[in-house]
Amino acid sequence: MDFFSKQKLGAHQCGRNANRLVAQGYYEEAISCHGEAADLLKEALLLTHNEQVKLSLELQRARHVQQQRLIKDTWKRVKIARKPSISSTKDTSIPPAPSNAASKLTSSQSAPQCISQAPLRWSKAAKDDRTRLEEQSTAIADLRKVVAVLLLENEKLLEENESLKVENARLKRDPYADQQSPHLTPLLNPAEATQGPPPLDLPLLHLPPDLQEEIRLLWERE
């Protein structure tokens, strides 16, 4: 496997590891994996001169950068959602010995907090699902762009191939068509047309020597 293929494969593996880490809640490590994938694709861009391959690599790299931003936003929301639970544990870490009435009041006050934690977990799961859907939608949109570019390029290549086939067939039918074209025959200048026959000091082809000599003598008499 060449270095270019290794860079692409490494970026793909980093992306898969990042998705697994996000599902497990390791956001910082997932951000690092996407950053490593973007760096590998950036190095791969320097190793190719194919415009289609460059476009595909740039789209993949942009997707990893976008995933970094989405994971950072998700990580911030998770931190904010965890803050109330941390403060409540600090307040109830060393509770005083309550009386019966105080214990009833404490239990009645703590009940809404327990109930309120359930929506937090539900909202976190809903946000994670929404984030995954956004990531999938972005990936699908990027792939559709790549497919559209490839289809357009394929149509251009097919048209060029058809024109080459037509030209090849024409040349096979008449390989000297371009040389025999009337557009390529040189035209005489008006000055050359008015001048008479060419001088006879040039050798006359396809004539015997004695006939050439007689023509030369007749020309000199005139």
**pLDDT, position 45:** 87
List the domains of the chain with CATH numbers.
3-84+130-172 (1.20.58.80)
The residue ranking higher by pLDDT, 27 or 167, is 27
Looking at residue 65, its pLDDT comes to 92
pLDDT at 99: 47
Using one digit for the tens of pLDDT, what is the confidence trace for 193-210? 455 555 545 454 556 777
**Quick one: what percent of the chain has pLDDT higher than 90?**
14
- Residue 130, pLDDT > 90, answer no
Q: What is the pLDDT of residue 206?
A: 59
CA distance to 5, 37, 61, 114, per residue, from 40 (Å): 11, 5, 9, 46
Q: Say whether 191 sits in a helix, a strand or coil.
A: helix
Which of 197-200's residues contact partners 24+ apart within 8 Å by CB, and which partners?
none
- What is the pTM assigned to this prediction? 0.38
Question: In this structure, what token pair is assigned to residue 211?
Answer: 């006939």
More confident residue, 204 or 62: 62
Angle at 147 between CA 145 and CA 152, to 5 degrees: 95
**Phi and psi at residue 6, to the nearest 5°:** -65, -40
Question: Mean pLDDT throughout 110-126?
Answer: 44
164-193 per-position pLDDT tens digit: 888 888 888 876 655 555 544 454 455 554
